[in-house]
Structure 1
Amino acid sequence: MPRIICAGHLNWDVTLRVDALPDPDGEVPVTDRRAGGGGSAGNVAIGLADLGCDVALLGGVGDDEEGRRAREELTDAGVDVSHVVTAPELPTTRKYIVVDSSGEVMVLGCDGANETFEASDLPESNLADAEHLHMTSQDPETAARLAERAKEHGLTVSFDPGRRIGDRGYGPAISAVEYLFLNDREAALALDAFDLTEQTLVLKRGPEGAEIRDGERVAHPGYPIDVVDTTGAGDAFAAGFIAALVDGADRERALAVANACGALVAQAPGARTSLTWDDVDAFIGE
């Protein structure tokens, strides 16, 4: 399997499960609490490693216990973390994730070290050995430069800019990528703000499945599941799509795999659920 590089946020997630979100000035009990590594780039990297890919991560953490544990989790999963930057003056970025009984998610973020890396932190030799670069939410200038460097080395590039696509100036980065991962809300913003005629849009539509648009439309209806926690489902979707794509799958197969990976994660608590090809193929019915 060819090498894939993931670049973007690496966080420490504290997930709190509740039966329902409280009303203003109200209070509800926490039914479960867990902590572990998170961040969209970290989640995608682990999903790719689970699916047998050779994957390296470019990101940033603080010089603290959370940063060390986040690195250890990635290393244990088989991800190359030699290009994860440690920022001694900043803490590892924390996200507090509240999940209600329907699996819907609310995120509270604390600033930290997850955007302290630069495009120059990725050596030329690493790019020369890779086939694909997947970027997630990060500093817009870093994203644009990473995409440019990847193109110089002949890599295909995908980008999942996340919920802040409308206010972070991602135009130069988006113009340099082939595949753009978006949910419905993000797609509405992107279609208004950017010229997307050169990009293949991979639209994540939750319970309605997913589709690819690039002048033609390929759709997959998804799978009926009982949702437990949607945290990380979009990252698992991206991991499945990229793993299938670099393995030579056609678009229908790539969407089926992506939807299966997203559904497998959404059926379990937390942002990361172990993915295997046996589980994916069983879910698809192959």
Structure 2
Amino acid sequence: MRVVCAGHVNWDVTLFVDALPAPDAEARIGDRREGGGGSAANVAVALSRLGVTSGLVGAVADDRDGRNARRELREAGVDARGVRVVEGGMTAVKYLVVTPDGETCVLGTEGVNEAFSTGTVPPDYFERAEHLHLTGQDPATAAALAVRAREMGLGVSFDPGRRLAGRADDEVLALADVVFLNEREAEAIRERVPPGRVVVTKRGAGGATAETPAGRIDHPGYDVEAVDSTGAGDAFAAGFLAAILDGDGYERALAVANAFGALVAGAPGTRPPFDPADVADRCGPA
């Protein structure tokens, strides 16, 4: 196992609508899909599809959605032994409302996806891994996992996601080698990232930027007709990490990340099927 991902494991219900309704108005649902979600789970699945062995730390309930989420993880080749199964409670469900231009808004239930800790991680997880990727879980849990990973000699990356308000992530930011942000997140917390870190800013259709100790690298991205932006940022992170772990430089990593993100944004669903060769077709061979 090369990468351990830690954070939320959700069940997603995606509603494709003709428009977001105004107050007292109604929108039409054109399609409805269900499947596994959660940033940590999405990155783990994406890495596995890119040929990078991955494991997952998180929590689901012992209910239908939790069983389906774990089944999809196993089918994708993810080591899900680190996903705690909580008796009672409810697996977190996210209702994703997607407009025709691919923009997404999210309604969610909290569920049990914070019900994990360093104590629920299988003993061999960090011994077998090279890297820990953290997403938007409780900051204390994330920091404890990052400390343990550092003690074991792993690299650490962090993607805080949309849950920024009221979260004290400074310790996690200090422990991370690589920080992934979108433009809104960068505006909110960029100044809190300590010097010497690699800060990767995702700019959607505008490509991405990597600020590294050696300087700034920009990539323009790839043209894509956005269908569903859900999961595109997670695919981006997976592509970047896969390239870096394979020894590629940051310029190549940005190209792979943008290519993978574009493929996901151009198809419906959080984890649309794809051929890894499609990534190489967009950004060229290594």
Which is worse superposed, 38-47 or 162-171? 162-171
For 2:155 and 2:72, how far apart are their aligned partners in 1?
27
Are 2:56 and 2:79, in contact at CA under 8 Å, matched by a contact in 1?
A: yes
Aligned runs of 1:64-103 on 2, under 5 Å?
64-103=63-102
Are 1:197 and 1:214, in contact at CA under 8 Å, matched by a contact in 2?
A: no
TM, length-normalised to structure 2: 0.97
**SS at 1:158's partner residue?**
strand
Are 2:43 and 2:234, in contact at CA under 8 Å, matched by a contact in 1?
A: yes
User: Matched residue pairs, number?
Assistant: 284
1:99-125 Cα offsets, whole Å, 9 max, x none, are 000000000011101110102212342
Return closer, same or farther for 1:52/1:79 CA change in 2, 3 Å cut-off. Answer: same
Runs of 4+ in structure 1 off by over 4 angstroms are: none
What's the C-alpha RMSD, in Å, of the aligned pairs? 1.1
Are 2:36 and 2:68, in contact at CA under 8 Å, matched by a contact in 1?
A: yes
Are 1:261 and 1:275, in contact at CA under 8 Å, matched by a contact in 2?
A: no
**Superposed displacement of residue 202, structure 1:** 0.8
Aligned runs of 1:142-153 on 2, under 5 Å?
142-153=141-152
Are 1:166 and 1:189, in contact at CA under 8 Å, matched by a contact in 2?
A: no
2:47 is aligned with what amino acid? Answer: L
Name the counterpart of 1:60: 59
**SS at 2:23's partner residue?**
coil
1:245 is aligned with what amino acid? Answer: I
Are 1:130 and 1:155, in contact at CA under 8 Å, matched by a contact in 2?
A: yes
**SS at 2:124's partner residue?**
helix
**Superposed displacement of residue 165, structure 1:** 2.3
Are 1:210 and 1:221, in contact at CA under 8 Å, matched by a contact in 2?
A: yes
2:204 is aligned with what amino acid? Answer: G
2:75 is aligned with what amino acid? Answer: D
**Superposed displacement of residue 263, structure 1:** 0.2
Aligned runs of 1:214-225 on 2, under 5 Å?
214-215=212-213, 216-225=215-224
Q: Percent identity?
A: 52
Name the counterpart of 1:181: 180
1:52-86 Cα offsets, whole Å, 9 max, x none, are 11110001001101000000001001000011001
1:116-156 Cα offsets, whole Å, 9 max, x none, are 01022123421011101001110110000000000001100
For 2:8 and 2:209, how far apart are their aligned partners in 1?
25
For 2:275 and 2:53, how far apart are their aligned partners in 1?
15
Name the counterpart of 1:34: 33
Which is worse superposed, 166-175 or 46-55? 166-175
For 1:75 and 1:219, how far apart are their aligned partners in 2?
36
Which is worse superposed, 122-131 or 146-155? 122-131
Aligned runs of 1:214-253 on 2, under 5 Å?
214-215=212-213, 216-253=215-252
Are 1:166 and 1:190, in contact at CA under 8 Å, matched by a contact in 2?
A: no
**SS at 2:82's partner residue?**
strand
For 1:21 and 1:206, how far apart are their aligned partners in 2?
21
**SS at 1:81's partner residue?**
coil
**SS at 1:157's partner residue?**
strand
Give yes or no for the alignment of 1:197 onto 2:195: yes
For 1:129 and 1:104, how far apart are their aligned partners in 2?
38
Name the counterpart of 1:141: 140
1:253-284 Cα offsets, whole Å, 9 max, x none, are 10000000000000100110234431111122
2:210 is aligned with what amino acid? Answer: I
For 1:65 and 1:234, how far apart are their aligned partners in 2?
27
**Superposed displacement of residue 166, structure 1:** 3.9
Are 1:95 and 1:107, in contact at CA under 8 Å, matched by a contact in 2?
A: yes
TM, length-normalised to structure 1: 0.97
**SS at 2:40's partner residue?**
helix
For 1:128 and 1:187, how far apart are their aligned partners in 2?
32
For structure 2, the 5+ residue unaligned runs are none
